[in-house]
Amino acid sequence: MTAAPRPGHQHEPLARTLGIASLVLYGLGTIIGAGIYVLVGEVASEAGAATPLAFVLAGVLASLTGLSYAELVGRNPAAEGSVAFVHHAFGSRLLSLVTGIAFAAVTIVASASITLGGAAYVARWIDLPQPVIGGAVVVVFTAIACLRVTESVRVAALFSAVEVVGLLVVIAVGSPSLSGIGPELAAMIPGSTDGWLGLGAGTFIAFIAFFAYIGSEGMANMVEETADVGRTLPRAILVAIAISGILYGVVSLIAVLAVEPEELAGNPAPLIPVLERYAPQMIGTFAAVAVVATLNGVLIGIVVAARLAYGMAR
């Protein structure tokens, strides 16, 4: 169904071309991004061997958020997403405007930060100043975002597939570490070791891991370009969160079994030690995958910001 235009503001409806497969891949890009490639170390510094459980608990929390968005997009199918939810809930144009500006600011700042991080990686292969590389990335991805939504989402979905393959590679090469899971199980139970300071602290650590799931809310901004939105988008949100949770749980489990949690803690590239142990010849390729994961966040940020601005302008 198409959102009804507001009185006095006629507009052409957006083309509904997105199906569940493209939306799930797009959603994986918004959720996974570069987060899991760096956040395992941050969580390991607090949770130690219980890091996988922290990601599982965070996935449960994220699923509740996903259920909320799944319900809200069905009731308020508008490209401005959260802004529409606030407007319908409180009927305040001012509060809606503040919400939109805040959401846009977060999206723009996050995309800029990701651009700089990605440019730093690319600068290792291309001898150009980082600002030049970053500017080129923004120009190229803005041009892609200006294409039909089908093309821009396909590019984002392709990048997302590369991100997922990167995590599957970590799982495949690190799978021998699973043979030693028996003796480590006790350390993964809340309250059983000093590495996990009881259920209260475990819940707090799960909130840290929750940041790895942030991004599913951006899927709501694609609602006006989704076919059969009442069925497709809610399912896509939940499937994307579920797949992310499974990947996070297995990857973090392999990481803490393959490498001492102390070595993971604070490591800006915590999955690299896993490859160093089992497949050092793949480190260069994996670094390229990390670049793709980083830059995909830029493209998705531009797409989300454009939909947000479009919806608010009406």
Q: pLDDT tens for residues 267-293?
A: 777 888 889 889 998 888 887 887 887
244 confidence band (pLDDT: 50, 70, 90): very high
Residue 11 has pLDDT above 60, yes or no: no
Sign of CA dihedral 124, 304, 16, 238: positive
Sign of CA dihedral 246, 247, 250, 253: negative
Residue 14 has pLDDT above 90, yes or no: no
Hey, is 89 helix, strand or coil? helix
Residue 139 has pLDDT above 80, yes or no: yes
| Burial degree of 118 (CB within 10 A; 0-12, 13-18, 19+) | buried
Could you identify the residue written with the tokens 């009185």?
7
Sign of CA dihedral 237, 241, 242, 247: positive
Integer CA distances (angstroms), 27 to 110, 156, 167, 218, 236, in order: 17, 9, 16, 8, 7
At 182 the pLDDT is: 66
> Taking a C-beta distance cutoff of 8 angstroms, is the pair 191, 46 a contact?
no
C-alpha–C-alpha distance, residues 273 and 70, integer Å: 38
Burial 125-153, CB ≥16 within 10 A → b, else e = eeeeebeebbeebbeebeebbeeebeebb
Domain ranges of the chain: 20-177+194-308
At 195 the pLDDT is: 47
> Taking a C-beta distance cutoff of 8 angstroms, is the pair 209, 202 a contact?
no
What topology does CATH give the domain 20-177+194-308?
A: Amino acid/polyamine transporter I (1.20.1740)
- Count of residues making up the chain: 314
At 1 the pLDDT is: 43
At 186 the pLDDT is: 60
C-alpha–C-alpha distance, residues 130 and 169, integer Å: 29
Number of other residues whose CB lies within 10 A of the CB of residue 185? 10
> Taking a C-beta distance cutoff of 8 angstroms, is the pair 108, 305 a contact?
yes
Q: What is the mean pLDDT of residues 82-94?
A: 88
187 confidence band (pLDDT: 50, 70, 90): low
Better-predicted residue by pLDDT, 33 or 128: 128
Residue 104 has pLDDT above 80, yes or no: yes
Residue 4 has pLDDT above 60, yes or no: no
Question: What percent of the chain has pLDDT above 70?
Answer: 86
Angle between helices 283-313 and 93-122 (to 10 degrees): 160
